[in-house]
Amino acid sequence: MKIKLKKIKLDIEKIDLIKFNEIEFARLVEGSFNEWTRLDENKNKINWSGEFFIESEDGDFNYKVDTEKKYITSLDLDGFLDGEKIDLDEDIEILLSSNHSFIYELLIFHEISKLKIISDIKLKAVELALFPKWASGYLSDDLKDNKTIYEFMEIFEPFINEFEIVKKLHINLDDFQIECENEKLKEIFKESIKKYIKKEIFFIVHDSEYGKFLSKLDINRLISAGNKFNPDLEEVEIYS
């Protein structure tokens, strides 16, 4: 399966162009200037939309994303982006994700949970890492230094990738179009979006049923790997 970025459309009204210089705009689109518009809540947001071409054995698809209906101040997909979910068949789906949304980690946790290859208390430790009590049912916004998630992914991600239950697909950025009235901003945006997508954005292919068909040998491999998973259970004991 191959995924290629076809087109990005940037919607900036002419009246807003005077509010930007090159540095401000580049920082904004790279996603590192999230606080900028909060200084002036009346400032118009920047809308953008994108179109990706997906080529697969099951057919070719266009995948569209659009921020027009959401409040967004940067190219940040973490919970803000309206996107299509493509179902290749009744069991396999393609989703757009970012390194900061942790949907990828959540799907791997979900599939390992279904396989019942590690104890409930170890699963609870991973669940509390993904959904800390302070987050009130939402995914954690930062798992970068979480030892439980790091160990969990180090052990189980290679297996789940090998079995093609959950797998990342990176995006071909060799040639895509930018639609923007201002030519100067167009060039800044093009370089910024290439950098941002290469660093942060990817697609996920998720087969929700394949785990049922794993061989006994593969299940035993997973059980053996699960025996090495040794998360800190202190928080589980506190909330149990």
Q: Which residue has the higher pLDDT, 125 or 46?
A: 125
- Select the more confidently predicted residue: 56 or 133: 56
Report the range of poorest mean pLDDT among 38-47, 61-70, 110-119, 179-188: 38-47
Q: What pLDDT, on the 0 to 100 scale, is given for residue 192?
A: 72
Question: What pLDDT is recorded for position 222?
Answer: 97
CA 86 to each of CA 4, 34, 89, 178, 196: distance values in angstroms, whole numbers, following the listed order = 15, 29, 9, 24, 23
**Rounded Cα distance, 61 and 55, in Å:** 7
More confident residue, 70 or 206: 206
Tally of domains in the chain: 1
Model confidence at 79, pLDDT cuts 50, 70, 90, reads very low
Q: Would the pLDDT of 78 be above 60?
A: no
DSSP 14: G
Q: Which amino acid would we find at residue 153?
A: M
**Range 131-144 average pLDDT:** 73
**Cα-based torsion angle of the residue sequence 226, 140, 106, 137 in order, rounded to the nearest 10 degrees:** 110
144 φ/ψ angles, rounded to the nearest 5 degrees:
-55, -45
Residue located via tokens 């987050």? 135
pLDDT (0 to 100) of residue 155? 97
Higher pLDDT, 86 or 203: 203
Instruction: Write out pLDDT tens, residues 87-108.
Output: 778 888 888 887 777 889 999 9
> CA-CA-CA-CA torsion for 175, 176, 177, 178, nearest 10 degrees?
-110
pLDDT for 32: 40
The residues that bridge with 93 in the sheet, in sequence order, are 87, 206
Task: With a cut of 90, say whether residue 132 has pLDDT above it.
Answer: no
Of all residues in the chain, what percent carry a pLDDT higher than 90? Answer: 31
Mean pLDDT of all residues in 111-121: 95
Q: What is the pLDDT of residue 42?
A: 41
Q: Average pLDDT in the 30-38 region? A: 41
pLDDT at 84 over 70: no
What range defines the domain where residue 146 resides?
2-239
What is the Cα–Cα distance from 214 to 114, expressed in whole angstroms?
A: 12
Query: Model confidence over 183-203: pLDDT tens digits?
Result: 777 777 777 778 778 887 888
Q: Which band of pLDDT confidence, cut at 50, 70 and 90, is reported for residue 136?
A: low
Query: Residue 49's closest CA among 20, 21, 70, 78?
Result: 70
